[in-house]
Amino acid sequence: MLVKSGKSSALKGDRGMKEKYSMFKLVFASMAFCLLIVALITGCGGGNNPAGPSVTTPASSFGNVPTYATGSVTLNGLLIDLTTQSLINSPDADIYVTIEFIGTTYTQTKKATENRAFTFFDLPEGQYMITVEDKNGVYDNSTPLIQELIGKSAVTIPLSPKKGTATPSSLNFYAKILDASLRNPIFFATVDVTIENVTDLTFQATSLYDGQFSLLGLASGTYTLKIKKDGYVEVSKTLIVTDRIIFGSQEISTTNVTNFTDGGNNARKGYDLGEIVLAPQFVNTGGLAGILLDATKTPKAPITDKLDLIYLNTRTSAEGPNAIIPNITPNALGYVSFKNLPKGFYVLAYANSWTAVATLDADKNIAGWGFTPASKLATRIWLEVLPGQVTPIPEQE
């Protein structure tokens, strides 16, 4: 019986979902800066700051911050009215922003400054869900935005007025993002939406677990959608909203209104933009991505222990398994993602605690490799990675 343990030199893995976000430029730049910085002291353009001075308690003082949380993040945000395509300017609204450290009980809620800007200080690094609520009901609540926050981060979140208040809402749209090779939903993809001829105004949306994202309350105009996910080729599509609806090269019937559920689990009516397919970025190598699930399809989160990504060239390789990427830390959801992996077989095991054991056939040739004890594996089966494909991590059996 052959036994092997330990790990080898590593390739660089992709475990983050870091994205750069565009914000207002030119005309809105000074307004945004004023709101986010000066308003925290005296209010923009004078002493009228209805929210008062902004005071944020450091994250380390909150008792529900996980012990494994590290770093210090500043998050700046702007809130825009999609129908006016500018910063929200409604004294009747009462807007609050909530951030939730995904996979934990850590949350913060803050009142937006003048209903149009917000800042959170001293957040632990990690993945957050950001939601916006108007307590006075002038605007619809936002759909959840998923963001990986590291260092200084910035987001722009769109809101659409409810019908009968402020400017009436316009049209809703939704679409699903899929992997080109396996047709699996791609979640946590970022959709940057730029409004043409509106001072390069860009806001963000996020695909959730079923790969769907939604755009609520779009006014007439031309929008450029850039769909991004690390390990995939970026896709850009144009959405034209006038008396006709054109998305990319297809025209969508204005009478084809369908029911859908947005990311906040709200029932909506809108237009289905169809499937947006992303191709893996590396055609000669493959990828591996997914949320680590147990037998009941429940995420194994939070995972505080380090993991090793173990590689085997072929099932009967005499060289045996090696830790090709050691000491991996999944995010708070138990999500891991790797790109540019060589063709072969992979398994995730708890770092520095796995032992690979070869099974031999009657002629004492290697018939395969297993692990002992099995409880040290985060994935129970070998996952095959092929060039040009991203292999999903399945639920455990």
CATH number at residue 60: 2.60.40.10
Residue 260 has a pLDDT of 93
Global pTM? 0.64
Last residue of a domain, one of 278, 310, 342: 278
Boundary residue ending a domain (278, 308, 330): 278
Predicted pLDDT at 289: 87
Residues of the chain under the 50 pLDDT cut = 7-62, 164-169, 397
My answer on whether 57 and 149 are in the same domain is yes
Q: How high is the pLDDT of residue 183?
A: 85
pLDDT at 301: 60
Q: Are residues 242 and 175 in the same domain?
A: yes
* pLDDT tens string 284-296: 888 888 888 766 6
Determine the Cα–Cα distance for residues 1 and 201; give it in Å rounded to an integer.
Answer: 63
Count the alpha carbons within 13 Å of 115 in the hemisphere toward its beta carbon.
Answer: 20
> Domains in the chain: how many in total?
2
Dihedral sign from CA coordinates of 39, 45, 50, 52: positive
Do 199 and 257 share a structural domain?
yes
Residue 161's pLDDT is 85
Q: Is residue 22 part of a domain?
A: no
Collapse the DSSP code of 375 into the 3-class scheme (helix H, G, I; strand E, B; otherwise coil) and give the result: helix
Residue 80's closest CA among 89, 72, 88? 88
Q: Do residue 272 and residue 294 come from a single domain?
A: no
Residues 316, 343: one domain? yes
Is 19 among the domain residues?
no
Same domain, 204 and 222: yes
Task: Evaluate whether residue 21 is within a structural domain.
Answer: no
Q: Which of 218, 212, 213 is nearest to 195 (CA)?
A: 218
294: Cβ contacts below 8 Å, ≥ 6 apart: 300, 395, 396
93 and 153 in a single domain? The answer is: yes
Task: Classify residue 256: in a domain, yes or no.
Answer: yes
260 part of a folded domain: yes
Same domain flag for 150 and 33: yes
Domain-embedded: residue 20: no
Residues 211 and 347 occupy one common structural domain: no
Same structural domain for residues 263 and 304?
Answer: no
Q: What local confidence, expressed as pLDDT, does residue 182 receive?
A: 79
Domain boundary residue among 278, 311, 346?
278
Length of the chain: 397
Check whether residue 266 and residue 297 sit in a common domain: no
Domain containing 156 equals: 27-278
The answer to whether residue 107 is domain-embedded is yes
Does residue 170 sit in the same domain as residue 201?
A: yes
Phi, psi for residue 60 in degrees, rounded to 5: -65, -20
Give the pLDDT confidence of 309-322 residue by residue, as tens digits. Answer: 999 999 898 888 98
Those residues with Cβ within 8 angstroms of residue 20's Cβ, 6 or more apart along the chain or in another chain: none
Q: Does a structural domain hold residue 226?
A: yes
CATH for 347:
2.60.40
